[in-house]
């Protein structure tokens, strides 16, 4: 390594134990920082708009939107806490933030990913009940139950990833070969458990429920949109807005699965998951970029989100009684 042209020690005062890295050209470094910083800022801004919209406007205080709020919070934290740290780790040749920051940054990233998966499962269940059992939906899906489920989802994510990264939390530098390195390795056994608990299990539930949702939605569309029961003129078929919400959230989940699958390829191939792999940067940033795409999907499918953004940007939400604005 001493003969590497353009390489320098991470800690020159530690000649024998310091990592040595190749410096990127200045132009490349500036371009990468500009690109990745833009993605992080866009992720934060877009998800902040979602959070403000759902929190401020009374019409949006529904169980489904509460799940979207939880997902937006996870996406916001990815852009605010995970992307900047991962950007520094990817661009810089040396890790100068210490072993604890390295471990906790991955702990945070894995927890937010798990929380997002849990939110996706809850969204799928919500849409399944809304479309397939519309009459029972207001009875079984209440705001209080959704709040309990969301809290349980976040708590389980912290606990689960704490167990997965327990060895790293106890000894943050256990896989580092030199000072100035941020190495995190998930063993084959832990990776297999994570593959089943965070990928195959939740994804199977999501796919099965959404296949059922779309089969029922197509069937209802053929039968007609305005069937009434004999008592009280209650619509049996799902509302048009419910089906539209199912399509939008179905797109969110499809994009999520597409960005999620490459991350678990090493586990599928029987390998350890390591951030030293050459493909790690592409795989991780593909997964992170999903946090930026979700609000764009909302803007495309939901007129209420576009209207809410307009009211937020023009500062009309500061006006008295703006929370009662009709935006649906």
pLDDT band at 41 (very low <50, low <70, confident <90, very high): very high
Tokens of 203: 């994804």
CB-neighbour burial class of residue 42 (10 A; exposed 0-12, middle 13-18, buried 19+): middle
pLDDT band at 268 (very low <50, low <70, confident <90, very high): low
Helix or strand (DSSP H, E) at 97: none
Residue 34, in any domain of the structure: yes
Residue 7, in any domain of the structure: no
Residue 260, in any domain of the structure: yes
Q: How far does Cα 153 stand from its chain's mean position?
A: 13
Average pLDDT rounded to a whole number, residues 79-89: 90
Residue 35, in any domain of the structure: yes
Q: Taking 60 as the threshold, does the pLDDT of residue 253 lie above it?
A: yes
pTM of the predicted model as reported, rounded to 2 decimal places: 0.82
Residue 108, in any domain of the structure: yes
Number of domains present in the structure of the chain = 1
Residue 16, in any domain of the structure: no
Which tops the pLDDT comparison, 228 or 146? 146
pLDDT digits (tens, 9 = 90+) for 112-155: 988 988 998 898 899 888 888 888 888 888 999 999 999 999 99
Please, are residues 246 and 213 in contact by the beta-carbon 8 Å criterion? yes
Range of the domain at 220: 24-324
CATH code of 67's domain: 1.20.1070.10
Q: Would you state the pLDDT for residue 38?
A: 94
Compute φ and ψ for 85, nearest 5 degrees: -70, -45
Q: Cα torsion for 321, 322, 323, 326, to the nearest 10°?
A: 110
Show the CA angle centred on residue 164, arms to residues 91 and 250, nearest 5°: 75
**Considering the chain, what is the average pLDDT of its residues?**
80
Which tops the pLDDT comparison, 246 or 183? 183
Residue 19, in any domain of the structure: no
Q: Taking 60 as the threshold, does the pLDDT of residue 277 lie above it?
A: no
């Amino acid at each position: 390594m001493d003969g590497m042209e353009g390489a320098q020690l991470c800690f020159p005062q530690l000649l024998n134990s310091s990592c040595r890295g190749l410096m990127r050209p200045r132009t490349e470094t500036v371009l990468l920082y500009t690109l990745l910083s833009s993605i992080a800022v866009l992720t934060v801004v877009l998800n902040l708009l979602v959070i403000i919209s759902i929190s401020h406007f009374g019409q949006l205080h529904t169980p489904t939107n509460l799940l979207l709020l939880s997902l937006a919070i996870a996406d916001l934290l990815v852009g605010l806490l995970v992307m900047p740290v991962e950007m520094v780790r990817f661009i810089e040749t040396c890790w100068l933030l210490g072993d604890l920051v390295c471990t906790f940054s991955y702990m945070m990233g894995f927890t937010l990913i798990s929380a997002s998966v849990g939110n996706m499962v809850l969204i799928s269940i919500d849409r399944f009940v809304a479309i397939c059992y519309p009459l029972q939906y207001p009875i079984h899906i209440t705001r209080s139950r959704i709040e309990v489920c969301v809290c349980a989802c976040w708590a389980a994510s912290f606990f689960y990833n704490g167990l997965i990264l327990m060895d790293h939390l106890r000894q943050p530098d256990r896989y580092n070969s030199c000072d100035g390195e941020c190495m995190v390795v998930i063993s084959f056994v832990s990776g297999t458990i994570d593959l089943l608990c965070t990928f195959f299990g939740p994804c199977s539930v999501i796919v099965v429920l959404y296949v059922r949702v779309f089969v029922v939605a197509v069937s209802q569309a053929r039968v007609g949109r305005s069937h009434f029961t004999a008592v009280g003129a209650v619509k049996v078929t799902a509302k048009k807005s419910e089906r539209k919400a199912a399509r939008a959230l179905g797109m969110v989940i499809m994009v999520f699965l597409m960005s999620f699958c490459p991350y678990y390829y090493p586990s599928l191939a029987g390998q350890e998951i390591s951030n030293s792999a050459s493909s790690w940067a592409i795989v991780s940033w593909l997964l992170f970029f999903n946090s930026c795409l979700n609000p764009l999907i909302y803007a495309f499918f939901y007129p209420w989100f576009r209207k809410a953004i307009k009211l937020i940007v023009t500062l009309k939400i500061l006006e008295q009684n703006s929370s009662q604005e009709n935006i649906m």
